Structure 1
Amino acid sequence: MRDQAESSTVDAQTLPLAGIRVIEFSHMVMGPSCGMILADLGAEVIKVEPRGAGDKTRYLPGSGSGLFPAFNRNKRSVQLDIAEAADRDVALSLIDSADVLLENFRVGKMESMGYGYDELAQRNPRLIYCSLKGFLAGPYGQRTALDEVVQMLGGLAYMTGPPGQPLRAGASVNDIMGGMFGVIGVLSALRVRERTGEGQVINSALFENNAFLVGTHMAQAQLSGEPLRPMPTRRATWAVYDIFRDKHDDQIFVAAVSDGQWHDLCDEFDLRHLSGDPELETNQGRVDQRDRIHTQLQAALSRLDLAEIEEKCTRRGLPVAPVNTPADLTTDAHLVASGALASTGLPSGDQVDVPLLPLTFGGRRLGLRSDVPRPGEHNIRYRDGPPDAAEQTEPIDSDTDVGESKTQSQ
């Protein structure tokens, strides 16, 4: 086991979910992201993978190659063919010892294999069963869903792309958000269990997550009575709230969202004649003459480079940001200095820098405790060890059965 020494992070024994055991039957993004958050919070998360090569998500090419590294740190891996009788007793033993079961298989799959909530709750009444699907119960309940499916169905793609060109968001927003809502449900159910002693079923779904994301647009449409415009052509709320170019033609976002910021912007970039223009005194007046303002502001910014624009805006408290790529974030000064990235080891021997949870507890990060596991890295402890091995509930700091020494990746 490649466990990690921690630096400036919360002690494992004091993590919020220390002592909680989660059995994860999941793949792709929604389930693994939920499991990873629970693991980062201190739960012992045992990821159940098929025998052989393990979770197929490990081997996705192209844009899918980052999925497994991003969402499977701090977990244990055991390999079981849960549909086969030979592995059923081990699977049930793990579930009997668990506080939480997490799954994101297609509707009815777990039940067809004998792992539905009703059956498992008879064995383990305290079990919290978190089921992550494409849709909650309703007319769409049996449909197959992907993040793209619900973004199209739920209006997010319409709002993201230019008119007539619906565009998928640049990240798996519904999958990840679905995992987050799953965590919220699990934490709430754990609190209820403290009072009642009983578990329950928690459901989260992609489509409903998407509806939550576009809720402001839904409200706007009802209040205005007008057709919604995609974000690239939306009616402006502020005159300066857009992407501009510097003298090297590099892009930078600049905004002024209050009267004070408007005057500071004009003062900083030698546009005082605009600040004193009575037609531009109010926000609505500025919005009405947005094109005139943009032309003059762009001319001023074209004389400066990105660093100069960023320094001037930051000095005056104006919203500003260069247009970065995700690759730029691995060397971002703020993320690096604040300890927001974890250099995570992969079974291949590679290292990737991925974000930790955007939380601190008492000023300390929830850190990397173990790298992404190999397929079945913990089979000895949970599957092939003594009969009572799976019942062990105390936190595990190293897996000496595997015979590997600790390594330091940071």
Structure 2
Amino acid sequence: MAPGILAGRTVLELGSMIAAPFAAHILSQLGADVIKIEPPSGDTTRKLVRGGPSGTYIAYSRGKKSACLDLRSDEGQEILERLIANADIVLHNLSPGAARRLGLSYERCAKARPGIVYCHIKGYGPGPLEEEVASNPIAEAATGVMYSNRVDGRPSRLGPSYHDQFAGSYAVIAILSALLADEDDAARRNIELGLYETGLHVAARDLVGVQLKSQLLGRPEQEPSPEFSIPGYGAYETSDGRWIYLVMLTDEHWNRFCRAAGIASDPDLASLRQRRRQREAVEEMVRDAVRSATYDALAQRLTAAGVGHTEVLSADRVLEAPQAREPKKYTEFDFAGYAFAAPDLPLPAATAHGEAELPPPLLGEHTRELLARIGYGAGDIEALVAHGAAHDSDPHDELWARPAKAAE
């Protein structure tokens, strides 16, 4: 199999939580050699589950190399300088203040390695809040997503950190664009991307939709997404206690569903406007039709009729689905005595195998190897570790606290 499209490129990731590590994960899947530079305390996601790595770390750090450095020390900064000089891309999501304290700027990176691509994922782009720190739920709250997502009337975050992942994806787009640009195009190689601005772009459809409806109705309108107001669109429970999600966007979708579910044609419900006027009756009709059948029986009829649907799956069942397994769309690996399966980037023609199939690294697992790669001798490496400027891993560390055994 051909190597990934970024084979031979080296990425320095100074990231925590999700946005930058997710971007570096994509770059790794595309074949880049990703070096994850971490402080002695490690990435925050190394300590989120029973004192050990979370799903975020395991899923998005597999195949990377870990160098554990104290960048507050002069020796740590010297190591960083050498690593930058041997890198093609520097990617981080440090706060603006932390980046300044560590001296991690485009100017420094470009001086150490002319032509380098530098990408800083920040909370906010240019503007009055550009020095502020922002996280995924803050982006949701500030861009209209949280307002309409409520639990018991209280605005709530979505759950998955999609805005972080969108920002990571946008960062990859910008990095690939910079790699394609002329070498002297410094403006493209100095990338700053705001989580807030990412959220604005993702919300564009809903923001414009609200503007449209407000002007059509002649009054302020807050409903962001028209799908959620369509009767018959959503999740319904079958007779065997499973949930099926129905897509009911158009009148033809409604007609197909009625044929599949055995609902008699009713001219008073022929158009979406008519069904909206009789929302409660339509919802009851759909609930009753779904409740009268097992999931498998109903799904078979819906498929035959061309009705969009799927089962609402819990996370522990997702990778058991035939579509996920045939062909296999995930990589299986062992890490710290446990078995995992992590979905892959769905671009097989562009991705690489090998490093990306390895488990995530222990904290500092590759520190010595990487120091040797950039010219440090064995004695120098021992001294750096002894002084605390660099740290290596302890393969005997137990990563997670195990639950206490029940009393017999």
Matched residue count: 372
Asked if 2 retains the 8 angstrom alpha-carbon contact of 1:129 and 1:199, the reply is no
Q: CA deviation at 1:78?
A: 1.4
Q: Unpaired segments of 5 or more residues in structure 2?
A: 215-219, 378-392, 396-408
Q: Deviations over 1:202-255 (max 9, x none)?
A: 112211121122212211222222321366xx6866432122221134322223
Once the two structures are superposed, the pairs formed by residues 373-384 of structure 1 within 5 Å of their partners are: 373-384=361-372
State the partner residue of 1:46. Answer: 35
Q: CA deviation at 1:64?
A: 7.6
Asked if 1 retains the 8 angstrom alpha-carbon contact of 2:238 and 2:244, the reply is yes
State the partner residue of 2:121. Answer: 132
Q: Residue 155 of structure 1 is aligned with which of 129, 133, 144? A: 144
Asked if 2 retains the 8 angstrom alpha-carbon contact of 1:73 and 1:344, the reply is no
CA–CA distance in 2 between the matches of 1:163 and 1:372? 39
Q: Deviations over 1:61-83 (max 9, x none)?
A: 27982111011012111122122
Asked if 1 retains the 8 angstrom alpha-carbon contact of 2:118 and 2:191, the reply is yes
Secondary structure class of the residue paired with 1:222: helix
Q: Aligned-residue CA RMSD in angstroms?
A: 2.7
Asked whether 1:269 is paired with 2:258, we answer no
Q: CA deviation at 1:36?
A: 0.6
State the partner residue of 1:369. Answer: 357
Question: Structure 2: which amino acid aligns with 1:379?
Answer: T
Asked whether 1:228 is paired with 2:222, we answer yes
Q: Unpaired segments of 5 or more residues in structure 1?
A: 1-9, 390-401, 405-410
Asked if 2 retains the 8 angstrom alpha-carbon contact of 1:359 and 1:366, the reply is no
Q: CA deviation at 1:54?
A: 3.1
Question: Structure 1: which amino acid aligns with 2:29?
Answer: D
Asked if 2 retains the 8 angstrom alpha-carbon contact of 1:127 and 1:198, the reply is no
For normalisation by structure 2, the TM-score amounts to 0.83
Secondary structure class of the residue paired with 2:298: helix
Secondary structure class of the residue paired with 2:25: helix
CA–CA distance in 1 between the matches of 2:227 and 2:303? 27
CA–CA distance in 2 between the matches of 1:157 and 1:198? 34
Q: Residue 343 of structure 2 is aligned with which of 355, 359, 369? A: 355
Secondary structure class of the residue paired with 1:220: helix
Once the two structures are superposed, the pairs formed by residues 4-403 of structure 1 within 5 Å of their partners are: 10-11=1-2, 14-51=3-40, 54-61=42-49, 65-161=54-150, 164-194=153-183, 196=185, 200-225=189-214, 226-229=220-223, 238-272=230-264, 275=265, 277-346=266-335, 348-361=336-349, 368-384=356-372, 387=375
Asked if 2 retains the 8 angstrom alpha-carbon contact of 1:236 and 1:287, the reply is no
Q: CA deviation at 1:163?
A: 7.7
State the partner residue of 2:217. Answer: none
Q: CA deviation at 1:278?
A: 2.3
Q: CA deviation at 1:183?
A: 0.6
Q: CA deviation at 1:386?
A: 6.8
Asked if 1 retains the 8 angstrom alpha-carbon contact of 2:86 and 2:374, the reply is no
CA–CA distance in 2 between the matches of 1:94 and 1:256? 54
State the partner residue of 1:393. Answer: none
Identity of aligned residues (%): 26
Question: Structure 1: which amino acid aligns with 2:43?
Answer: D
Change (3 A) 1:47 1:235: closer
Q: Which moved more, 1:116-125 or 1:192-201?
A: 192-201
CA–CA distance in 1 between the matches of 2:315 and 2:16? 23
Q: CA deviation at 1:199?
A: 6.7
Q: CA deviation at 1:109?
A: 1.9
Change (3 A) 1:386 1:40: closer
Asked if 1 retains the 8 angstrom alpha-carbon contact of 2:12 and 2:84, the reply is yes
CA–CA distance in 2 between the matches of 1:148 and 1:61? 20
Q: CA deviation at 1:47?
A: 0.8
Q: Which moved more, 1:77-86 or 1:240-249?
A: 240-249
